[in-house]
Amino acid sequence: MNNALLKEMKERVFDANLALPKSGLVKLTWGNVSEINREAGLIVIKPSGIPYETMKVCDMVVTDLDGNLLENGLKPSSDLATHVELYRSFEKINSVVHTHSKNAVMWAQAGREIPAYGTTHADTFYGVVPCTRQLTVEEVTSAYEFETGRVIVETFHERKLDPVAVPGVLVNGHGPFTWGRNPQKAVENSIVLDEIAEMACMTELVNNIVHPIPQYLLDKHFFRKHGSNAYYGQL
Amino acid sequence: MNNALLKEMKERVFDANLALPKSGLVKLTWGNVSEINREAGLIVIKPSGIPYETMKVCDMVVTDLDGNLLENGLKPSSDLATHVELYRSFEKINSVVHTHSKNAVMWAQAGREIPAYGTTHADTFYGVVPCTRQLTVEEVTSAYEFETGRVIVETFHERKLDPVAVPGVLVNGHGPFTWGRNPQKAVENSIVLDEIAEMACMTELVNNIVHPIPQYLLDKHFFRKHGSNAYYGQL
Amino acid sequence: MNNALLKEMKERVFDANLALPKSGLVKLTWGNVSEINREAGLIVIKPSGIPYETMKVCDMVVTDLDGNLLENGLKPSSDLATHVELYRSFEKINSVVHTHSKNAVMWAQAGREIPAYGTTHADTFYGVVPCTRQLTVEEVTSAYEFETGRVIVETFHERKLDPVAVPGVLVNGHGPFTWGRNPQKAVENSIVLDEIAEMACMTELVNNIVHPIPQYLLDKHFFRKHGSNAYYGQL
Amino acid sequence: MNNALLKEMKERVFDANLALPKSGLVKLTWGNVSEINREAGLIVIKPSGIPYETMKVCDMVVTDLDGNLLENGLKPSSDLATHVELYRSFEKINSVVHTHSKNAVMWAQAGREIPAYGTTHADTFYGVVPCTRQLTVEEVTSAYEFETGRVIVETFHERKLDPVAVPGVLVNGHGPFTWGRNPQKAVENSIVLDEIAEMACMTELVNNIVHPIPQYLLDKHFFRKHGSNAYYGQL
């Protein structure tokens, strides 16, 4: 193992985990962030059930690409197997975030995908934020966290969604997972997801026959920020 | 009395009481936390109507297991008799918390139990959070705070609920009580209760025919965190 | 004028005004608090349109009991005439607070009184929080702020409400006024009013056929905290 | 260019941009503020996609009245063309603010104008806050940001609205723009717009057949604060 590289990964994962309570996305010990380095064969993830106030950089847990522990230390987040499965199937993502942020959870509990009602949504998510089907009793009682990852992947495959263009999902009856090219971006996507989840709920309150924005406006805003013709931000 | 033990109890109860306004669960002087030590025959509880800003550790009030004052000092919380009754009937709990946190109050005022709409709920509450019946005029005008405790116990007995598996309740037209094995845990349960109360309300806004999660998912999440097969957190 | 007495009044009024943005009840320069000393013939009130960040104790404006300025200085709050009318008619109150706190405003804009749905309400307001009728074109175009006070008084007289037992009101299409025996208490009543306004709205969301709590529970909670048989707080 | 004047413009624009996250109106890098000096032929605007935490006064971007860059430096906000079009058509405004504040966005996504339900609204907006029509595919795919400005101007012209009396608008499916005589005032108008957007939504929740306030009350409150007969604030 490259110690400098691992130290940097631990610091990024630590910072991203702390950003969750700071952003108001998680309470108590809920939520976890991981990062993968495929070349080095490493995943770094939050330890399970450690309070954010006392958590240290060195508490971050290191595993191989299958989730096997590579260091003696704390137990990894109980959601590790979900992260591993997402990394295995979504090859272009380098970080995964799980939270129980209240507005995203509300849609997950309602079992509904979030329609693209405006440009705030379109700036980050290219189309609806999908919601998985409910897990079966067999899936839940066998390898629950692994199957949670599998049903997310199934949802993206069946709907032919690109996880780079739709960097998040709602797990039915549970809550959101988001991802990105690095931990900071993956956390930002969790922030955006919770915000657009709240906006969408309130939009329906104010207009109960509202329609999603037209495809051309969705295209405009998404590609203003993403892809080779993006012109938002500094080059 | 063992002075060191009592001092520690007072500090824990003091810290837990201060955690209530810090967590946004209480305003003004609302809310109270107590702790019991059955072997030592002691209950420590917040004094009545003292502002959190000026409250000191030594202001905590000490009573015996029947709620009789054991020290000269401030008056105990007016809800003491409710705490005493809960300790008498729920033998495995060591701390009780009462708040008027707005989301839990909303369900209590609506007179509705909170359905288990997701895993955030299932991680802490094994099934619905029950709501008591309304107190009768006789109960309210005789020994109101004692009867509040009694109707909570009645609710758990009639529904055959285990207070360890369901660490909280809504008192009809009033608000929530939660409990736990220590003051910190009891406060955490108040935080969770308010959060899932808000999530449940918003879930129904987004989907007015939503169903609770299936029993097998409730089982999975609750027993992932509780009981002999729990695997969440560090051992 | 007694200088020491006046200085203390100004300090209390200043502190109470600053408590409004600190409590989240007002934004920008909205909101104002005043105090009356009937024996000394003095009213002290916030100046008009001064930012809270730069406001000083000496900026507080002093008037006689009819609202005539007694010192050279800043202009008083434009709502002064409402405060004067409330002091004239409600002889037992010594402080008035006006805010545009969002939850109380929502009910005022809806033109609805707030039903007593729970004990949080009953602890401070003995029955519904009334909402005035709409002001007429004559009232608005003549002496608007005076007439705002008059319609509040009319509302209490017509419904035979005691302003000590019901320490606040909603002005139709406008927002809340609260009062109390001193500025701190009057501000606390604004905090409570906004909190119960939010709780009541959410209660109706969760149960659209909810009823107010029974009279005996309203009596119990109000008189637990008020009047000669009160037993909440320290004596 | 006058260096002292430009430095002051940059400082005002910088401060106003920082006021957006501080007021809770924007998350991440969303939102932008600009100021125009017509005599000097200068516009100063926030750079595109720069985090508020690290942004410096010298990062502010300077353009001429057509939006052409006058200094080597960072790229301007991608919404610059909207600001330029608003300055061209609304001759009395000197600052423009764009946010994705959640309550204003909710009405924009719902495609509804905000009715004047109360005096909080009337104190700042003389009548409804209008919502534009949806942009056409041609408008979105050609010069999107310019056309966003055009549809705002079209909305004001068609409804014969005075941008000084109605200092903000909702762009359909997108979000709010506000303006004012200086950056501080334009930001305050964004704060007010988000607040009244939330109040209006909740007002309809509490009373689903609510009516706007009468014209005479709207007149009274608006002209109490604006125009030659205003008497709110210090002279």
Q: Which residues make beta-bridge pairs with D97?
A: D33, D178
User: Is residue D27's pLDDT more than 80?
Assistant: yes
Q: Of A192, C21, A186, whose CA–CA distance to A178 is shortest?
A: A186
Is C64 designated active site? Answer: no
Which runs of consecutive H residues, i.e. helices, occur in chain A? 3-22, 80-89, 102-110, 119-122, 137-141, 144-158, 183-206, 215-225
* Side chain identity at residue D25, one-letter code: L
| Contact with chain B for residue C184, Cβ under 8 A | no
The whole-angstrom separation of Cα C64 and Cα C44 is: 9
Instruction: Output the pLDDT for position D1.
Output: 61
Mean pLDDT of chain C: 96
Instruction: Output the pLDDT for position D234.
Output: 83
Query: Ramachandran region of residue A233, left (φ > 0), alpha (ψ -120 to 50) or beta?
Result: left
| Contact with chain A for residue B112, Cβ under 8 A | no
- What integer is the mean pLDDT of C206-226? 96
pLDDT (tens digit, 9 = 90+) per residue, D110-143? 999 999 999 999 999 999 999 999 999 999 999 9
Measured between CA atoms, how close is C89 to chain B, in angstroms?
Answer: 29
Q: Write out residues 206-235 of B within 8 Å (CB-CB) of C.
A: none
Confidence band for B1, pLDDT divided at 50, 70 and 90? low
Confidence band for D2, pLDDT divided at 50, 70 and 90? confident
- What integer is the mean pLDDT of D79-96? 98
- What integer is the mean pLDDT of C153-173? 98
Chains near A with 3+ CB pairs less than 8 A apart are B, D
- Mutation pick from A202, A220, A222, A232 vs chain D, by most beta carbons of D within 10 Å, is A202
Instruction: Output the pLDDT for position D232.
Output: 84
User: Is residue B235's pLDDT more than 80?
Assistant: no
Q: Which residues make beta-bridge pairs with C96?
A: C34, C179
**What's C3-225's CATH class?**
alpha beta
| Contact with chain C for residue B88, Cβ under 8 A | no
pLDDT (tens digit, 9 = 90+) per residue, A48-61? 989 999 999 999 99
> How many residues does the structure list for chain B?
235
Q: Is the CB of A118 less than 8 angstroms away from the CB of D103?
A: no
Instruction: Output the pLDDT for position A225.
Output: 92
The whole-angstrom separation of Cα B194 and Cα B19 is: 14
| Contact with chain B for residue C56, Cβ under 8 A | no
Instruction: Output the pLDDT for position B232.
Output: 85
Instruction: Output the pLDDT for position C1.
Output: 61
Give the position of tokens 């409402």.
C82
CB-side neighbour CA atoms (13 Å) of A226? 17
Confidence band for D233, pLDDT divided at 50, 70 and 90? confident
- What integer is the mean pLDDT of D29-45? 96
Instruction: Output the pLDDT for position B2.
Output: 75
Q: Is the CB of A110 less than 8 angstroms away from the CB of B207?
A: yes
pLDDT (tens digit, 9 = 90+) per residue, A129-143? 999 999 999 999 999
Residue B232 CB burial class (10 angstroms; 0-12, 13-18, ≥19):
middle
- ipTM over 0.90 threshold: yes
pLDDT (tens digit, 9 = 90+) per residue, D135-170? 999 999 999 999 999 999 999 999 999 999 999 999
| Contact with chain B for residue A23, Cβ under 8 A | no
Q: Order the strands of the D168-171 sheet from edge to edge.
A: D61-63, D42-45, D32-37, D95-98, D175-180, D168-171
Instruction: Output the pLDDT for position D235.
Output: 67
Q: Is the CB of C175 less than 8 angstroms away from the CB of D119?
A: yes
User: Is residue A1's pLDDT more than 70?
Assistant: no
pLDDT (tens digit, 9 = 90+) per residue, B206-218? 999 999 999 999 9
Instruction: Output the pLDDT for position C232.
Output: 84
CA distances from B47 to B16, B34, B145, C185, D66 (A): 13, 10, 15, 20, 67
User: Is residue C235's pLDDT more than 70?
Assistant: no
In what helix (H) or strand (E) does residue B148 lie, and over which residues does it extend? helix B144-158
Q: Which of C105, C140, C204 lies at the smallest CB-CB distance from D199?
A: C105
In what helix (H) or strand (E) does residue B140 lie, and over which residues does it extend? helix B137-141
Q: Name every chain C residue with its beta carbon within 8 A of the beta carbon of B140.
A: 216-217, 220
Instruction: Output the pLDDT for position B170.
Output: 98
Q: Is the CB of A199 less than 8 angstroms away from the CB of D102?
A: yes
- Mutation pick from A25, A52, A60, A109 vs chain B, by most beta carbons of B within 10 Å, is A109
- What integer is the mean pLDDT of B171-197? 98
A104-126 exposure pattern, b = at least 16 Cβ within 10 A, e = fewer: bbbbbbbbbbbbbbbbbbbbbbb
Which runs of consecutive H residues, i.e. helices, occur in chain D? 3-22, 80-89, 102-110, 119-122, 137-141, 144-158, 183-206, 215-225
- What integer is the mean pLDDT of D49-70? 95
User: Is residue A31's pLDDT more than 70?
Assistant: yes
Q: Name every chain B residue with its beta carbon within 8 A of the beta carbon of A201.
A: 202, 205-206
pLDDT (tens digit, 9 = 90+) per residue, C71-124? 888 999 999 999 999 999 999 999 999 999 999 999 999 999 999 999 999 999
Measured between CA atoms, how close is A227 to chain B, in angstroms?
Answer: 33
Cα of first residue to Cα of last residue in chain B, in angstroms, is 34
Q: Is the CB of A117 less than 8 angstroms away from the CB of D27?
A: no
Q: Of D86, D113, D112, whose CA–CA distance to D32 is shortest?
A: D86
Confidence band for C205, pLDDT divided at 50, 70 and 90? very high
Q: Name every chain C residue with its beta carbon within 8 A of the beta carbon of D119.
A: 100, 173-175
User: Is residue B39's pLDDT more than 90?
Assistant: yes
* Side chain identity at residue C182, one-letter code: N
CA distances from A105 to A43, A77, A197, B200, B217 (A): 26, 19, 9, 9, 16
Give the position of tokens 């990024």.
A12
Residue C202 CB burial class (10 angstroms; 0-12, 13-18, ≥19):
buried
pLDDT (tens digit, 9 = 90+) per residue, A159-210? 999 999 999 999 999 999 999 999 999 999 999 999 999 999 999 999 999 9
Q: Could you tell me if C4 and C39 are in contact, meaning their C-beta atoms sit under 8 angstroms apart?
A: no
Measured between CA atoms, how close is C223 to chain D, in angstroms?
Answer: 29
Instruction: Output the pLDDT for position C140.
Output: 97
Per-domain residue ranges for chain D?
Answer: 3-225
